[in-house]
């Protein structure tokens, strides 16, 4: 079973976003360079073909980046919900949120919380607006803790 720390939930960022932005900038620079070189030497068709290939790659990476940003925005919203839940649990248990770990990165059913006081299960009501903490004992827990 995997538990995620509060610091992981609050600071988890995708480093691929920065790599894709760097790739976009590099492709844009190469495209501009090839296109300018083609405009200077219009008789040389290979620069036109290379600029078209680069523009196609640029559009492909741009599409992937936009798709990834939409997914990241959705994940950030869901992570905000789970961090708010962790803060509420910390308040009820009278511990700091940094000492808690939870077994999911999104809200849903079957949430378990690992705290210094033990393991707790979150029981949500039917509309999901409130929860009850129930202390549990795990039999043979195989816990993996994901930290930032």
- pLDDT score for 15: 61
| Phi-psi region at 44: left, alpha or beta (left = phi > 0; alpha = psi -120 to 50) | beta
SS3 37: helix
Token duo for residue 145: 């803790």
- pLDDT score for 104: 81
Q: What is the mean pLDDT of residues 8-18?
A: 70
pLDDT tens column, 81-92: 788 888 889 999
What is the maximum alpha-carbon separation in the chain?
Answer: 77
CA distance linking residue 114 with residue 10, whole number of Å:
17
Helix (H) / strand (E) containing 68: helix 45-93
Percent of the chain with pLDDT over 70: 93
Domain boundary assignment for the chain: 2-146
Token duo for residue 113: 């919380």
């Amino acid at each position: 079973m995997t538990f995620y720390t509060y610091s992981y939930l609050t600071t988890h960022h995708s480093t691929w976003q920065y790599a894709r932005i760097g790739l976009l900038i590099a492709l844009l620079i190469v495209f501009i360079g090839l296109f300018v070189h083609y405009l200077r030497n219009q008789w040389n068709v290979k620069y036109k073909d290379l600029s078209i290939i680069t523009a196609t790659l640029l559009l492909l990476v741009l599409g992937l980046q936009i798709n990834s940003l939409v997914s990241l925005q959705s994940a950030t919203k869901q992570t905000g919900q789970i961090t708010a839940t962790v803060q509420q649990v910390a308040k009820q248990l009278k511990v700091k949120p940094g000492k808690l770990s939870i077994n999911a990165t999104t809200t849903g059913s079957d949430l378990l919380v690992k705290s210094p006081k033990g393991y707790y299960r979150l029981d949500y009501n039917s509309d999901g607006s409130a929860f009850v903490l129930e202390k549990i004992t795990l039999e043979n827990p195989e816990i993996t803790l994901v930290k930032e």
